[in-house]
Amino acid sequence: MNKPAWNSALGELRSMFKSKENIDAAKQLALKLHAMVFTSEMSGTVHTTFEDELWDGLDEETLRFAVNKKGRTIVYGLWHSARIEDITMNLLVAGRDQLFEKDKWEEKIKSPVRHTGNSLSSTEIMNFSSLIDITELKAYRTEVGRNSENIIRNLKQEDLHRKIYKDNLKRILDEGAVDNVESANWLIDFWRKKDVAGIILMPCLRHQLVHINESMEAKSNNRKTVRS
């Protein structure tokens, strides 16, 4: 599946969610799309995924320090998208603890922050990216992806249009998963307006592809700089 086909299928999934019919087919399509925005190791697919393409030929210097036009590194994109999926799929969809908290990923990854990273400046992103344990970050993404797959598989029709509970939104701030400053806490209002189906569409699926695309831009920019 290429990216235009993926985006087209996402639109199809949105329509399937709205129709309130054939939940099993919708879940299968969601899982197919989700597999493409993680490594093939995560889902066990035999196909090359978009994240596989990102990692192909990627050296550590590029991973940590190449930036896209927004000043974001590849490490940042992988972290940020995984954190948001962990937060939303667990606290907001499943109503249970984040993997980050439960499995002590902050210590394993050696992260200087526990939040999504939205509030980090360009300088702070660079510092953050220099400190992260890349192997553990990859392991975290794999665990987040597999956990989300299990949540999706167990969804019932009536779950899809359930609104997000206010207490669970409050937990996000209480646990420091989103930095409670203007540059980050707008996420709470954004998620408050969604139902479970909306969380699966964005951020669980679309948001991952956005940051893979940004990271591919950073990777490409670094190669152009090296050649010049």
Over residues 191-219, mean pLDDT: 97
What's the pTM value of the predicted model, to 2 decimals? 0.94
195 three-state secondary structure: strand
Which pLDDT score, from 0 to 100, does residue 223 have? 62
Residues 6+ positions from 57 with CB-CB distance below 8 Å:
none
Both structure tokens of 54? 């990102």
| Chain centre distance of CA 151 | 15
Task: Express each pLDDT in 141-176 by its tens digit.
Answer: 999 999 999 999 999 999 999 999 989 999 999 999
Pick the closest to residue 38 from 4, 95, 81, 73 (CA basis). Answer: 81
For the chain, the residue count is: 228
Are residues 219 and 58 in contact, defined by beta-carbon separation less than 8 angstroms? yes
Could you tell me the residue ranges of all domains in the chain? Answer: 58-227
CATH architecture type of domain 58-227: Up-down Bundle (1.20)
Alpha-carbon distance of 219 to 28, in angstroms, equals 31
